[in-house]
Amino acid sequence: MPAPIRLRELIRTIRTARTQAEEREMIQKECAAIRSSFREEDNTYRCRNVAKLLYMHMLGYPAHFGQLECLKLIASQKFTDKRIGYLGAMLLLDERQDVHLLMTNCIKNDLNHSTQYVQGLALCTLGCMGSSEMCRDLAGEVEKLLKTSNSYLRKKAALCAVHVIRKVPELMEMFLPATKNLLNEKNHGVLHTSVVLLTEMCERSPDMLAHFRKVSLVPQLVRILKNLIMSGYSPEHDVSGISDPFLQVRILRLLRILGRNDDDSSEAMNDILAQVATNTETSKNVGNAILYETVLTIMDIKSESGLRVLAINILGRFLLNNDKNIRYVALTSLLKTVQTDHNAVQRHRSTIVDCLKDLDVSIKRRAMELSFALVNGNNVRGMMKELLYFLDSCEPEFKADCASGIFLAAEKYAPSKRWHIDTIMRVLTTAGSYVRDDAVPNLIQLITNSVEMHAYTVQRLYKAILGDYSQQPLVQVASWCIGEYGDLLVSGQCEEEEPIQVTEDEVLDILESVLISNMSASVTRGYALTAIMKLSTRFTCTVNRIKKVVSIYGSSIDVELQQRAVEYNALFKKYDHMRPALLERMPVMEKVTTNGPAEIVHTNGETETAVLETKPPPSGLQPANQANDLLDLLGGSDITPVIPTAPTREPASAGGELLDLLGDLNLTGSPVFAPAPQIAQPPFLLDGLTSQPLFNDISAGIPSITAYNKNGLKIDFTFERSNTNPSVTVITIQASNSTELDMTDFVFQAAVPKTFQLQLLSPSSSVIPAFNSGTITQVIKVLNPQKQQLRMRIKLTYNHKGSAMQDLAEVNNFPPQSWQ
């Protein structure tokens, strides 16, 4: 068999291939030759063959049949063989192939080889692709090499240790003693890798972190850093005039980890950080890299405020730099710190706003986010102007975010209602189709709130869609407004602006064209139809036209439209007397949750006849989960659940939850949606928000009963009736524990039949001490307007003797005086 071709030849040949197919053919031919050569166990040319195989692998062709050959090369004594063998191992093998374990022994021998280069190769391979089993086996060897005096090997060993720790974190302890001396090295390479090793250890394990803090690692690092900065020109590690920037950056990073959340360490490094920040040259990228790392460190540790201001000023200077990389990096960091150091960042606001005009997309995005974070009451007008301009010119992928951001900011800081509405209009007209869907109901709610601006708003909206009705959110809002305030539009009253002369027919024209247009989405058409319907009560001369339009859509293909049209038709025909009341002006909507954007009840401006129920708000709703459970247990048949109250219940929050629960309930007819659910209940129960029952005149003499007595837990009921309100019974329960162990986490729940109403006040405690040495008391108020016999089901949960206990019982033995 002729000698296999040399690597160079192969490469040259393959490069002459003109098509993919030709190349594949050559490669297949060569692979076949290599395979037969491998079969012959040819030692001399194995190295060459594997090298060629690796090249072909790099081009993307399969080379797994060479894996075993790599192992044979590794086992050889020749250095060149080993080198290619290890390279092959790193490229072809990974921990998922079982073959790789065969390498372990070879690597172990090589780690103890006499030549440092062989040892180095072994360390390198282990560090790149060692699997957890290999790492476990060889960790000891690596640790030995970590202590050697040969700096070439020490460097490699340190990084290899990093890899071992990553794979097998439990082995971290093993490397701890070796780290003691690592930082005493002069050799920068060793220092660098040691710092990396220490960093990895500190990040992985908080114990290590604490240990290193104690071992006063910080002063050591500070000293090294100082030497680096102060020392003169060192040709070996110099990069553009700064000595070993990589090491500086790594040390700064380690300092950051050590100083995080730790006052002492942070204090120890304050000086050096200030020094680095002021002395580093910023003309080249290298200096900036160091400064950037310094800034990150300052921000993360507990630094004093002067230092933080210094850091932000550095970032501000970065923003003015010509190099866009640096600007990008600065914007990213400022975004992270804007929450904590708001004032300092504000100073650079104008520079940030300038970055909105940058060419690079990622810079623009960062600048936009940062700008939104910086908007406050003082600068809102100026910032909005810039942001609106940005909205005009930015890429489509930003428009949705930008629009939402503008809405949010406008809502929080609007200086006047008119400005607010103008801003919204501007956004709708420039980026109308990118506005998020949930913005429409928000906007509508906003518009209803600014009562005095209704005429102005509807006029502007009308003008906006007159020319162009393709932007759906804009058209939706506009239709809704026209439907509501169309009378203001045609009457020509507008204080803020020159009133326009519009006739009813013109208004109907525009709404009809929205309905007909192909560009309108189904939702938009719904809005338009409802708007037309509402105008039937607000307009005087065009009612017939409206009737006609509505009846046409009664046979529309779109089911939604059809339904609406049919219902409105019915309104005209049979329920004409109800029509004015139904289509009345909408009340001002309360925004219950001011935190999140999308909690608003979705009101589509619909006045459907079917859904005008004012659901009795409270009794169907249980904000507590306990009550839900009870309901599930009891089959939910004739029981109303309990609403346990805490003394400091705030009505507003209750209303919020209520609103969530109601979800998509249409609140059209219930303008009195005041938050507290208890309001619909007889007011006396509100008095019970204190834990003392307020009854001064209690009729005595109602016998108390033992409601429950099992497993050492006894619950007694004592009764009180009020003379002022005879339907109220106040029950005080007392729970006692006759066993020898305390009962903890005791919770008492009760349910009564539907005709009753129940209120549980908070218990005195949740622990019943043993041996009857104390009791838990809790007050229950029962409202019994129909004077029916009192029945109650109770559920008890508590922890006793280490296990959770739960029990259900029915109480039927209420004395007649308690409810008659």
Residue from the set 38, 328, 746, 819 that interacts with another protein by CB under 8 A: 328
- The verdict on 46 binding another protein (CB under 8 A) reads no
- The verdict on 166 binding another protein (CB under 8 A) reads yes
- The verdict on 175 binding another protein (CB under 8 A) reads no
Contact by Cβ (8 Å): 559, 552: no
In this chain, which stretch among 8-16, 133-141, 488-496, 586-594 interacts with another protein, using CB under 8 A?
8-16
The residue with tokens 């906006």 is 464
- The verdict on 196 binding another protein (CB under 8 A) reads yes
- The verdict on 84 binding another protein (CB under 8 A) reads yes
> Of 455, 446, 369, 448, nearest to 414 (Cα)?
446
Near another protein in 419-448, by CB under 8 A: none
Residue from the set 203, 341, 512, 584 that interacts with another protein by CB under 8 A: 203
- The verdict on 285 binding another protein (CB under 8 A) reads yes
Q: Which is nearer to another protein, 200 or 484 (CB)?
A: 200
Q: Which is nearer to another protein, 292 or 708 (CB)?
A: 292
Cα–Cα dist 594/245, whole Å: 49
Q: Which two tokens stand for residue 138?
A: 């060889």
Residue from the set 55, 389, 419, 684 that interacts with another protein by CB under 8 A: 55
- The verdict on 66 binding another protein (CB under 8 A) reads no
Task: For the CB of residue 39, give the shortest distance to another protein in the complex, in Å.
Answer: 24
Query: Around 536, how many Cα atoms within 13 Å sit in the side-chain half-sphere?
Result: 26
Q: Is 694 helix (H, G, I), strand (E, B) or coil?
A: coil
| Secondary element (H or E) of residue 808 | strand 803-811
CA dihedral 359, 362, 363, 368 (to 10 degrees): 110
Task: For the CB of residue 315, give the shortest distance to another protein in the complex, in Å.
Answer: 13
- The verdict on 95 binding another protein (CB under 8 A) reads yes
3-state SS string for 280-322: CCCCCHHHHHHHHHHHHHHHHCCCCHHHHHHHHHHHHHHHCCC
Near another protein in 253-272, by CB under 8 A: 253
Near another protein in 330-359, by CB under 8 A: 359
For 467, counting Cβ atoms within 10 Å of its Cβ (0-12 exposed, 13-18 middle, 19+ buried), the class is: exposed
Residue from the set 46, 154, 155, 348 that interacts with another protein by CB under 8 A: 155
- Supply φ then ψ for residue 21, to 5 degrees: -65, -40
Residue from the set 4, 66, 85, 245 that interacts with another protein by CB under 8 A: 245
- The verdict on 292 binding another protein (CB under 8 A) reads yes
CA 676 to chain centre: 31
> Of 473, 385, 408, nearest to 436 (Cα)?
473
Q: How many residues does the chain have?
A: 820
Task: For the CB of residue 193, give the shortest distance to another protein in the complex, in Å.
Answer: 6
- The verdict on 231 binding another protein (CB under 8 A) reads no
Residue from the set 293, 504, 567, 720 that interacts with another protein by CB under 8 A: 293
Q: Which is nearer to another protein, 300 or 720 (CB)?
A: 300
Q: How far is CA 439 from CA 91, 143, 443, 471, in A?
A: 53, 61, 6, 14
In this chain, which stretch among 301-309, 322-330, 582-590, 621-629 interacts with another protein, using CB under 8 A?
322-330
> Of 382, 348, 381, 352, nearest to 367 (Cα)?
352
| Secondary element (H or E) of residue 69 | helix 67-75
- The verdict on 34 binding another protein (CB under 8 A) reads no
In this chain, which stretch among 28-36, 161-169, 216-224, 445-453 interacts with another protein, using CB under 8 A?
161-169
- The verdict on 132 binding another protein (CB under 8 A) reads no
Task: For the CB of residue 132, give the shortest distance to another protein in the complex, in Å.
Answer: 11
Residue from the set 19, 21, 39, 60 that interacts with another protein by CB under 8 A: 60
Q: How is 97-133 classified by DSSP, letter by letter?
A: SGGGGGHHHHHHHHHT-SSHHHHHHHHHHHHHH--HH
CA-only gyration radius of the chain, Å: 39
Footprint on this chain of another protein (rule: CB under 8 A):
7-8, 11, 15, 51, 54-55, 58-60, 62, 79-80, 83-84, 87, 90, 94-96, 117, 123-124, 127-129, 152, 155-156, 159-160, 162-163, 166, 188-189, 192-193, 196, 200, 203, 235-237, 239, 244-247, 249, 253, 285-286, 288-289, 292-293, 296, 324-329, 359-363
